[in-house]
Amino acid sequence: MAAYVIAELEVTNPEGYEAYRRQVPATLEKYGGNYIVRGGEIEAIEGESAGRMVILQFEDVAAAKRWYNSPEYQHIVGLRKANSTGRLTLVEGV
């Protein structure tokens, strides 16, 4: 069953975040992830929305966790955390 990682972020340092953003695609490719949404225009319909939203799709929850916990992603995750605030959520699809 497909799984999705949803990132809702406020970028606090665009230059520093750019270094992270450039490196993520290679980590996704290695673990079978792909972008569904990547930084498009956001319109809040109810409540407040984040400044940036990214939705990643994986084959299943296990694949998403392999990606997140991989040495490749853990090597760069500090760049995201240092240059943005927000949350990542893992959701099992139907």
Domain boundaries, the chain: 3-92
Element (H, E) at 27: helix 14-30
Which residue numbers in the chain have pLDDT < 70? none
CB 9 within 8 A of CB 79: no
Question: How many residues appear in the chain?
Answer: 94
What pLDDT is stored for residue 27 in this prediction?
97
CB count in 10 Å sphere of residue 87: 9
pTM: 0.92
* Class of CATH domain 3-92: alpha beta
What pLDDT is stored for residue 87 in this prediction?
95
What pLDDT is stored for residue 49 in this prediction?
86
What pLDDT is stored for residue 50 in this prediction?
84
CB 92 within 8 A of CB 1: yes
The C-alpha atoms of residue 21 and residue 18 are separated, in whole angstroms, by 5
The C-alpha atoms of residue 78 and residue 76 are separated, in whole angstroms, by 5
